[in-house]
């Protein structure tokens, strides 16, 4: 794609973000790793700026972003997901991360 530049966090390893720690990369594709890190850091900056420490992640899917904001950035996160299969997957991934 003309004008596309690979984000610097993938220069060392194109399938792993160097700016997202290993526990938060597991089971997550590179594009999603980048999105999680960037969006999580933006929400954290907004949280710090406004003094708001509680976040609601609507349509949280498997919980990758919620998990990063809560366990990686220290925010209080409520996740809302309508698909029970995704909720169950998120719960398994939460347990896996907490055991690691």
| Residue pLDDT, tens place only, 74-89 | 999 999 999 999 999 9
How many angstroms separate the CA atoms of 51 and 46, rounded? 8
Residue at 32 is within a domain: yes
Whether residue 65 lies inside any domain: the answer is: yes
CA dihedral 98→22→64→35, nearest 10 degrees, is 160
Distances 6 to 39, 85, 91 between C-alpha atoms, Å: 17, 33, 32
Q: Residue 43: which domain range?
A: 17-99
Domain count, the chain: 1
pLDDT < 70 regions, the chain: 1-2, 4-7, 9-11, 13-19
Q: Does residue 12 form part of some domain?
A: no
CATH number of the domain within which 68 lies:
3.40.50.150
The token pair at 88 is 């169950």
The sign of the CA dihedral 78, 84, 88, 93 is negative
């Amino acid at each position: 794609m003309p004008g596309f530049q690979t984000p610097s966090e993938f220069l060392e390893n194109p399938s792993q973000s160097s700016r997202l720690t290993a526990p938060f990369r597991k089971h997550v594709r590179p594009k999603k790793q980048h999105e999680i890190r960037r969006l999580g850091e933006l929400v954290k900056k907004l949280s710090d700026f406004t003094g708001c420490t509680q976040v609601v992640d609507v349509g949280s899917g498997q919980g990758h972003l919620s998990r990063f904001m809560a366990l990686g950035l220290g925010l209080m996160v409520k996740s809302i997901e309508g698909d029970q299969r995704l909720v169950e997957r998120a719960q398994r991934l939460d347990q896996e991360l907490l055991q690691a």
